[in-house]
Amino acid sequence: MRRLALIAVLFALLAPGAAFAVRPDEMLKDPALEARARHISEELRCLVCQNQSIDDSEAPLAHDLRVLVRQRITAGDTNAQVLKFIVARYGDFVLLKPPFQLDTLLLWSLPPFALAAGLVGLIVMARRRRAVPLQPDALSAEEQAKVATLVEAEPAGR
């Protein structure tokens, strides 16, 4: 993708002949089932597009997937079953929210880990800082004597 910044996303969309993502003829009659279908569609990636859900994509493959999702819903699958069915055919790549597993461990855990580490670090730093200025160690007898000599040696007013 060599073209311009933010709009790069637009290129993938406008294959010749702008069409629709969800088409009227593929929608389910029952609004509740259709709402579920839309919800599931937002979780699934259009495999031939760049980072688009099948709900947003107008690629023919996305259309096929939307129809498949609706078939499964009509057949009585739960949302989880539909997703499982699609993943079994197309792999994890189809999920826009990757599953939590070994190769996505860092992806999921890094942000919360960073937040926790940051918080702990800040608390430790705050403790250490407070400890230093508020409770200076009492001067040893040797240091006291040194201070005394210095004070005497220094003429007043300088």
Partner 1 sequence: MIPELGHYALILALALGLIQSVAPVIGSIYRDAPLMRLANSTALMQFVFVAASFAALEICFITSDFSVAIVYENSHSLMPLVYRMSSVWGNHEGSMLLWVLILSLFGALVAMFGVNLPSTLKALVLAVQSWIACAFYVFILLTSNPFLRLTPAPFEGRDLNPILQDPGLAIHPPLLYLGYVGFSIAFSFAIAALIEGRIDAAWARWVRPWTLMAWMFLTLGIAMGSYWAYYTLGWGGFWFWDPVENASLMPWLAGTALLHSAVVMEKRNALKVWTILLAILTFSLSLIGTFLVRSGVLTSVHAFASDPTRGVFILCILVLFIGGALTLFAWRAPMLKQGGLFAPISREGALVFNNLFLTTACLTVFVGTLYPLALEALTGAKISVGAPFFNVTFGPLVLALLFAMPFGQLLAWKRGDLLGAAQRLMAAFGVGLVVIGLTYAVEGKQPVLAPFAVGLAFYIMVGAAVDLVERTGLFRMPLRIVAARAGGLPRSAWGTAVAHFGIALSMLGIIAAGSWGTERIVAVKPSQTISISGYTLTFDGLSQQAGPNYSAVVGRFTVREGGNVIGVMQPSKRSFSTRGMSTNEAALMERGFGQLYLSLGDTEANGSLAIRLYYKPLVLLIWIGAVIMMLGGALSLSDRRLRVGAPKPARAKTAMQPAE
Binding-site size for partner 1 (CB under 8 A) equals: 57
Least separation in angstroms between residue 93's CB and partner 1 is 5
Residue 86 and residue 49 in contact, taking contact as beta carbons nearer than 8 Å: no
Least separation in angstroms between residue 65's CB and partner 1 is 13
Task: Tell whether residue 14 is a contact of partner 1 (CB under 8 A).
Answer: yes
- CA separation for the pair 90, 81 (Å, rounded): 14
Task: Tell whether residue 119 is a contact of partner 1 (CB under 8 A).
Answer: yes
Out of 48, 115, 124, 145, name the contact with partner 1 by CB under 8 A: 115
- CA separation for the pair 99, 103 (Å, rounded): 9
Looking at the Cβ atoms of 78 and 91, the one nearer to partner 1 is: 91
Residue 82 and residue 72 in contact, taking contact as beta carbons nearer than 8 Å: yes
Looking at the Cβ atoms of 53 and 69, the one nearer to partner 1 is: 53
Q: Give DSSP secondary structure letters for 8-75.
A: HHHHHH--SS---SS-GGGS-SSHHHHHHHHHHHHHBB-TTSSS-BTTT--SHHHHHHHHHHHHHHHT
Q: Which residues bind partner 1 (CB under 8 A)?
A: 1-11, 13-14, 16-25, 27, 42-43, 45, 50-53, 56, 91-98, 103-104, 106-108, 110-111, 114-115, 118-119, 122-123, 126, 129-130, 133
